[in-house]
Amino acid sequence: MTTLICLPSSGSSSTLYSDWKPLLAEKNISLLCPEYPGRGQRFTDPLISGIPELVDDLMQQIQVMLPPDESYHIFGHSLGGVVAYELTLKIQQTTGFPAPQSVIISASHAPHLRGETILKSHLEEPELIALLQKMGGLKKEVLQHPELMELLLPIIRADLALNDHYHRHDIAPLSCPITTIHGLSDPIVKPENISAWERYTADYRHLDWPGDHFYFQQNLKDFLNRLSHMLAA
């Protein structure tokens, strides 16, 4: 048995991965999804204002959730990719806490290129919504309910602000392998933005996958089959 810790994208909660659990269980992979403050089961908690604070929060959750001596991997999508990187750096500095077997970075700019994303917290609402639609990040049923959008947009903007204010000028390598995954039709992450993660590990691998920014939602079973083989390699 191995464990996969999954970190969501901007505006998302742990429910981004709710369909993964039964499919991964068939492959003897346990799924853990810590929750960012201010959404999901932690909706009443204040939103986090910085990635270091978010990493500290996640570290506390993982120390409680992860079974002792359990081997594990970390998967981070979009914003969750850089959070996964910073979380792994934190783990490497924590005495007595085992490092992940690998980190999987999905649809995420490398840390020193975060400023190149066109998705910014200051965008006007129509422009922001149009871009989220183009990415595949907003479902029609959500767009058709103004009250849901009223709840969701402040969370999205707060998460985008985390990226706006994130700066890493040094390249601190991880001691574990990094695998990056890129949707071939992703409108906001260019191939060179994600291949730059190669500089952050001595053991780098990459996978291109058909689809947009949320490529795994379009053919989840096939993707998780491939992911499970990657975790077993």
Contact 70, 3 (CB under 8 A): yes
Q: Which two tokens stand for residue 136?
A: 């595949």
pTM equals 0.94
Q: Which residues contact 98 (CB under 8 A, 6 or more apart)?
A: 69, 71, 72, 91
Instruction: State whether residue 33 is helix, strand or coil.
Output: coil
Which candidate, 68, 64, 15, places its Cα nearest to that of 43?
A: 15
Q: Which amino acid is at 158?
A: A
Tens-digit pLDDT profile for residues 27-65: 999 999 999 999 999 999 999 989 999 999 999 999 999
Q: Which residues contact 11 (CB under 8 A, 6 or more apart)?
A: 39, 132, 137, 152, 155, 156, 159
Contact 73, 232 (CB under 8 A): no
Q: Which residues contact 81 (CB under 8 A, 6 or more apart)?
A: 7, 105, 106, 107, 108, 109
* Predicted local confidence at residue 23, as pLDDT: 96
The alpha helices in 144-219, defined as continuous H runs, are: 146-164, 191-195
* CA angle (208, 88, 100) in 5-degree steps: 75
Proportion of the chain above pLDDT 90, given as a percent: 73
Q: Which two tokens stand for residue 206?
A: 């990459």
Tell me how long the chain is.
233
Instruction: State whether residue 211 is helix, strand or coil.
Output: coil
Domain that holds residue 151: 2-232
CATH number at residue 150: 3.40.50.1820
Contact 62, 191 (CB under 8 A): no
Q: Which two tokens stand for residue 29?
A: 């992979």
Q: Which two tokens stand for residue 118?
A: 């066109």
Contact 210, 185 (CB under 8 A): yes
Q: Which two tokens stand for residue 46?
A: 């204040």
Tens-digit pLDDT profile for residues 57-113: 999 999 999 988 889 999 999 999 999 999 999 999 988 889 999 999 999 999 999
Q: Which amino acid is at 159?
A: D
Domain count across the chain: 1
* Predicted local confidence at residue 54, as pLDDT: 97
pLDDT, mean over the chain:
93
In 97-231, where do the E strands start and end? Answer: 103-106, 178-183, 204-209
Examine the pLDDT at 15 and tell me if it is beyond 80: yes
